[in-house]
């Protein structure tokens, strides 16, 4: 199942995007230069079942995979890659708690918002 999910995730990636197993049944996608809205759109399409993944093992259908997503973007959700990934992980847990096939966006970190505003000034 994990291999099939990884292949499905990789099929929708751009050149330079990185998909990796984060732990257990969790995957992380690093999409350098992608806007938060792009990540949200891609996650929404996957959660809505635009490309449902149905598994078959030894000729026996196992059903369709559901997925929940947590989306975060640098630097809005963390000043480092690790902190941004932690924001995405927190959003994923909220999505799972709310039900199947959900997308949650990490809340902006106040310090990131201040840094972005300062950079724009």
**Catalytic annotation, residues:** 25
Question: For residues 49 and 98, what is the distance between their CA atoms, to the nearest angstrom?
Answer: 17
What kind and span of H or E run contains 112?
Answer: helix 110-120
Q: What is the largest CA-CA distance in the chain?
A: 60
């Amino acid at each position: 199942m994990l291999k099939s999910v990884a292949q499905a995730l990789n099929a929708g990636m751009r050149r330079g995007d990185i998909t990796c197993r984060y732990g257990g049944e969790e995957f992380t996608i690093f999409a350098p230069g992608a806007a938060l809205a792009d990540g949200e759109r891609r996650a929404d399409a996957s959660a809505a079942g635009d490309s449902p993944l149905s598994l078959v093992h030894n000729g026996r259908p196992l059903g369709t995979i559901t997925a929940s997503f947590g989306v975060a973007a640098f630097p809005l959700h963390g000043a480092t890659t690790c902190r941004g990934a932690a924001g995405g992980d927190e959003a994923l847990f909220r999505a799972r708690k709310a039900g199947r096939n959900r997308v949650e966006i990490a809340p902006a970190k106040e310090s990131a918002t201040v840094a972005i505003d300062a950079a724009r000034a």
